[in-house]
Amino acid sequence: MNLAREARDTQLSRVTRRHFLKSCGTGLGAIAFASMAAGTAAATATAPPDPLAPRPPHFAPAARRVIFLHMAGGPSPLELFDYKPTLARLDGEKCPDSLLEGKRFAFIRGVPRMLGPQASFRQHGESGAWVSNHMPHLARVVDKVAFLKAMHTDEFNHAPAQLLVHSGSPRLGRPSMGSWVTYGLGTENENLPAFVVLLSGGAAPDAGASVYGSGFLPTVYQGVQCRSKGDPVLFLSDPDGMSRDLRRKSIETINAINRQQHEEIGDPEILTRIAQYEMAFRMQTSVPEAMDIAREPAYIHEMYGTEPGTTAFSNNCLLARRLVERGVRFVQLFHWGWDSHGAGESEALNAGFVDRCRETDQPVAALLEDLAQRGLLDDTLVIWGGEFGRTPMLENRTGVDNPFVGRDHHSDVFTMWMAGSGVKGGISHGETDEIGYSAVSGRVHVHDLQATILHLLGFDHLRLTFPFQGRDYRLTDVHGHVVRDVLA
């Protein structure tokens, strides 16, 4: 009996985890992949061999693609779109205790003073929307825009707030919005990434690559960062001494091994690996062409204010148009530098903030006009905004002699806007109080915005799910309502 047990134990000790997975009838990976296929919002009977193959949404969509313009740092609506003459009259007065009791701020301590708008405002367009002098170009196309003036979030620090906007959770590990969209819809161009990320402003978002990562979704759905200066994608070119034909043959050989391994194990990440090898090879010719804005005529460069060969938000806006017209499903722009505390020149409402407006105003307006004149705005959704707003009080950590002024983080109200297919142009949804501190109507949570974006793409946000760790997850977590008042 003991000898038999010892012999059995010796036999089991030789069975490694890898051997178990390979010899298991279906493979744990295959089980997980089958579960994923059963729960996919695309409602396909079986998972397609290509994880990025085009798939239909739940219902007829208004939009087929998205351009999300994120102003990282939290731009102040009180200097852009939320006109508050009462706040101007209160400039310099001590903040009432009622605005401070029970509130948490990132940097405000003690009793700050009120800070009037650091901009002048006028009404524009047939809608009569209030736009500050910092955004003269956007004012020209304001009737294309639906403002969400009573946005709110649960977070008042940058990284968690950015994660909440883009992944539905303030903690790491959830898939980004672009990953959810490409998971649900696939791509319309097999030679370009389905989800492209473009950075400008001199730094990455505070939350890092997680704001465009795939989380627990297969990694084929993560965002691909491209650059407007130098090689569009790092390490895309063939190494020295390797011809394109040799690269093709090497990829075919590697993927033959990968397919054999997938048949044995069934791990969905092997499909991702196959798709990424194939995509990388095709991108060697398609990406340089798509990213070459020098091909654009002179009037387009004048329109956007672009300078080929530089890293700039204007270049990225033009690239966004070039990418969506080639079938890229989700284009995410991050422009860093909007954190306007007033502690120094670069982050002051009367200095650096004005520069950020100047860098972005013309190209954003040009993007809307360019998309419209090409017919692309008819099926493209454009979103603009940051992760939270700014307080109507002066941030007081630098003393009275500081020539620069700024505002602290504010999670209770901020402004975002949407434009494009399925969105009513020339409207403002929601309203804040007379100093821009609290919402008085039309509150929209970050999860509501996410539900609305998915709705415009043809998804019921309750049904776009993925099974992970014993339950079905979705972008909006267990929250979110479609903001139907902004739908056309």
Confidence band for 141, pLDDT divided at 50, 70 and 90: very high
The span from the CA of 151 to the CA of 445, in Å, is 6
Residue 3, in any domain of the structure: no
Centroid of chain to Cα 481: 19
Q: What is the pLDDT, as a whole number, of residue 369?
A: 98
Does residue 314 form part of some domain? yes
Q: What are the residues whose beta carbons fall under 8 Å from the beta carbon of 153, sequence distance 6 or more?
A: 161, 164, 165, 387, 388, 411, 414, 445, 446
- 211 in Cβ contact with 167 (< 8 Å): yes
**What percentage of the chain reaches a pLDDT higher than 90?**
71
Section 150-178 average pLDDT? 97
Q: What is the pLDDT of residue 235?
A: 56
End-to-end CA separation in angstroms for the chain: 77
- How large is the average pLDDT for residues 19-35? 42
The tally of domains found in the chain comes to: 1
Helices 177-185/446-456 angle, 10° precision: 20
With contact defined as beta carbons under 8 Å apart, do 218 and 269 qualify?
A: yes
Instruction: Judge whether 26 lies within some domain.
Output: no
Percent pLDDT > 70 in the chain is 83
Instruction: Establish if 413 belongs to a structural domain.
Output: yes
pLDDT per residue over 92-127, tens digit each?
A: 999 999 999 988 899 998 899 999 999 999 999 999
Token pair of 443, please? 């509150």
Q: For residue 374, give its domain range.
A: 40-232+291-486
CATH number of the domain that residue 149 is part of: 3.40.720
pLDDT in tens, 318-340: 999 999 999 999 999 999 999 99
| Amino acid 9: pLDDT | 52
User: For residue 264, is it within any domain?
Assistant: no
d(CA 72, CA 436): 20
Give the range with max mean pLDDT: 105-109, 132-136, 340-344: 132-136
Q: Is 24 within the bounds of a domain? A: no
Tens digit of each residue's pLDDT (9 = 90 or more) over 232-280:
665 566 666 666 676 677 777 877 888 888 788 878 777 777 776 666 6
> Please, what is the average pLDDT of the chain?
87
